[in-house]
Chains A and B, each alone.
Chain A
Amino acid sequence: MADLLQQIVSGLASGGIYASLALALVLIYRATRVVNFGQGEMAMFTTFVAWSLANHLPYWAAFALTLVIAFAGGAALELLLIRPIRDAPVLTVVTVTIGVLIGLNGLARLIWGNEPRQLESPFSTEPVRIGGVAFSLQDLGTIAVSLAIVAVLWLFFQRTKVGLGLRAAALNPSASRLVGVRVGAMLALGWGLAAVLGAVAGLMAAPALGSFDQNMMQPILLYAFAAAILGGIDSPLGAVVGGLGLGVIVNLLGTYVDVVGAELRLPVALLIILVVLLVRPAGLFGREAVRRV
């Protein structure tokens, strides 16, 4: 029983990372109708930035500064690479995000080289005992940080004027412009926020992985895709629930089902999602487009 609880908490910690990155994908999908294949490498790049900063600054200062840099970088990507081709076919825009994936990976190796790095965890590695069960503080910290950033973002979207403008611009761009929302600025802002979420995912993933290199986010991006699809690609709530749920399921399957083991975790997770999709073609929380045929 204690073991099961530990595994669930550990699954929630990975799930928080998947959820952050999945939420980033959903944000960009809602604003631009494009799945951003570069999201994982954007997160990886900011993690390397954080590693460089952490050599000179206290951890949380480096953390905060990284988020600022991530925001600027995300917005800049939208302005420079996505906006000029906003009228191109969706597949063209997706291909550009694949270009971002490959290019950023190359750039990071050019700057930081091939050797793996370590980013220390801000949380102590000492376990804490709650009701006789030992939990890793690192896991609990990861869950807390992921949920906190999601909560802050949720408040921003619901309670602020700019948040309202972001939601409106994603739902109905032309009507938004008529009420004075600068839709272009909102898109850049959305990409910036998505990059911030990705940065948080990267910063939480790095210590969990032990050491990290330029390919650190690729499996996480796959889980995030899966989580976003599971929840419904246009549903922020779905991304969070999907991410946390996937983290727990994958961890429990890998631990308790022998056939699955470490290797088949991802295929099994994907299989679950395929089955979910066949039952609910727009994901758990997604809205199904009305099609009359």
Chain B
Amino acid sequence: MDRLKINQEKIDKKTAEKLIELCPFNAFEYKNNKLEINAACKMCKLCVKKGPPGAVEYIKEEETGIDKSLWKDIAVYVEHSRQKIHPVTYELIGKARELASKSGYKVYCLMLGFSIFESAEELLYYGPDEVFIYDYKELQSFKIEPYTAAFEDFINNIKPSVILVGATTTGRSLAPRVAARFKTGLTADCTYLDIKENSDLVQIRPAFGGNIMAQIITPNCRPQLATVRYKVMESSKRMPEKNGRVTVCSMDVNKLQSNIAYISIAHKEIEENISETEIIVVAGRAIKTKKDMSLAYELAEVLGGSFAGTRPLVESGWIDSKKQIGLSGRTVKPKLIITLGVSGAVQFTAGMKSADYIFAINKDPEAPIFSVAHYAVVGDIYEIVPKLIEDIKIAKSTQPSTQYHVPVFE
């Protein structure tokens, strides 16, 4: 068990104040000439690294860890709605293959549902070594208890070292449940994954609600679970021939009981999904009034794309939450994205930085958005965008083009 130790003999009022100032999480308390760490501590260890030498010590105590060699291979949870496989699955298989070639592990898929054999065969074109399916009536619709029970059965039998789950609504409901059952770690919304020689999964994600990335490992527990959002990893390509095999698993059906009953299921209304469009114009906080949102609408329209917004605009009710880009909204991977006065918090950029071309317009030359932009346009959106819309209209009228037609703007 690792912990922080405060060497009280090195603490006086001055060093205490210094440490209190240094800690970004307000986790130090100085009372009766004694310095203590409270529950706000996130173990960032800044007090150890940057504080007065020797004042705070990081004590690493040996774990009687698990035998990691008993846990092998990489499993991908197959997200699907009634046999229709969600494309995030192919992206996870792509990533799993990459990790597998580094570690020598095999890649497995786990699919839960009813009448799913054929869809499971389709997965074999994307490169897993084996697809394990649990095909039961009780698993026809997503219910948390039977899905967790089948997942548990799979883990107990296969003992995968790494499990990747798509961060869809169901994935984000199921993965934590499974992680808690095995009392193991789960890292949400990873933007980067790698594997160490000792089989520890290196997981990187935006953290602490700010412009910070955290590298996270699960050193003493197996399996290691991570969720990844759709459109973050590179998809595995469909091969002309299938490989590997489908294995049908059986389990005790008594474990598939549930206290949840479906009354009905409704298709969602077909709505524009910004995750699927190729050109996106994003409005940010520099837009001063709701009326000025027309800058974004019009620019999107002349480019034949969609418009979207950042969290502050959604919170002020200027834009629908389905059009929010970022960790609390959608992740997008369009060909072109133009941001209008978006400052670029990491929560936002994590949702769009894999776009092919990013143009960012912002008055502030220090705006963090410029660190992900290919074209950092330093200027006022109110001066640039109206002129830009005019220029594009002129360019289009003089030079009709058929390159991109994305008729999704409503």
Same complex origin of A and B: no
Spell out A's residues near B (CB within 8 Å).
Answer: none
Spell out B's residues near A (CB within 8 Å).
Answer: none
